[in-house]
Amino acid sequence: MRIRTWIKKTKAGRLLWRVVIGIVGGTVTVLGAIALVAPGPGVLIVIAGLGILATEFAWASRVMVTTRTYAQKAADKAGIPKWVQFALIAGAAVISIVVIIYLHYTGKI
């Protein structure tokens, strides 16, 4: 959080931070929307993008809660057991962590 605090010291830094979060979160959300119709875990990616946006934008937090509610209702209708839902979420989290660590050690982030 030191970088975030350092960047947000000035008004221009706060604006820059919001723009960067908006671009990153928006990109992830759009990729999730594409994955909804293409093969892939679209709902999880959309929620991840909204989670990124929710760190700076209150509207994204409200949308994320609504999206999670719809996803839960769809999972309940499909009859997916809770343990499978948790396993999918845990698997996506592990994959995300591995990718972040890999990108960090290769110097790409």
The pLDDT tens digits of the residues spanning 22-40 come to: 999 999 989 888 888 877 7
> What are the sequence ranges of the domains in the chain?
2-78, 79-109
For the chain, helix (H) and strand (E) counts, in that order, are: 5, 0
What is the helix (H) or strand (E) element at residue 97, kind and residue range?
Answer: helix 82-105
Contacts of 60 (CB under 8 A, 6+ apart): 25, 50, 53, 54
- Confidence (pTM): 0.59
Mind listing the pLDDT tens digit for each residue in 57-100? Answer: 888 888 888 878 887 888 788 887 878 878 888 888 888 888 88
Rg (CA), the chain: 16
